A = this chain, B = another copy of it.
């Protein structure tokens, strides 16, 4: 990958000094919120790529087109910056899961579609997967982080359980196991596949993830065995 940032300040490239004239016309300043947003996005990338401990605040700042000053002015500390990312992701995650539930109508095709969507997300959105691992790792050792991560994970499991309940009901079948337990299995299998894919992308590719998820979902929704 490689992060690679052009040397930029205030969102303006600095490497070529264009001062062949001289009237030092004032450069407009970016709104604070935009600065914050850019730092946040850059920090996600860098934390995902290098991991928390090996991510230097200066690298993050430069990746966003600023210097450490901007980071400290907006977030106050490395830990707080990480916390802001976690918070943002937790919100987005819950929204995404909830939105995905009521998208489709056809129950039998839904299994195929859900399996494909999740598998693609695992295979393509590596930032998501890596950040998830980082969140988990830090939650082990940091009480504050755990206080955000654990409820987030519970909500995801609950959402999965709700989906199983909803769609089996809609299809008029009874699930082979308790939907709550099904939610746990789905959630943990998804996370497990994601982690495994990160470590061994060839070993667990998108197709394998998709097949695994489809098989499991098929069982859970009472599909006739093929």
Q: Which residues of A contact B (CB under 8 A)?
A: 49-54, 130, 133-134, 136-137, 139-141, 146, 149-150, 153-154, 157, 176-177, 181, 184-185, 187-193, 195-196, 198-200, 203-204, 208, 211-212, 215-216, 219, 225
Contact = CB atoms under 8 A, between A and B. Distances in A.
Nearest to A184: B212
Given A53-B53, A184-B212, A190-B192, A203 B133 contact: no
Contacts of A149: 199-200
A188 B185 contact: no
A176 B218 CA distance: 11
Q: How many chain copies? A: 2
A184 B188 CA distance: 13
Closest 5 CB pairs of A and B: A192-B192, A188-B192, A53-B53, A150-B200, A191-B192
Given A54-B53, A181-B211, A187 B195 contact: no
Given A51-B141, A181-B212, A189-B189, A150 B203 contact: yes
A187 to B, nearest CB: 7
Contacts of A193: 184, 188, 192
B212 A188 contact: yes
Contact of A176 (B136, B195, B200, B225): B225
A193 to B, nearest CB: 5
A130 B50 CA distance: 19
Contacts of A195: 136, 188, 191-192, 195
Contact of A215 (B130, B181, B191, B215): B181
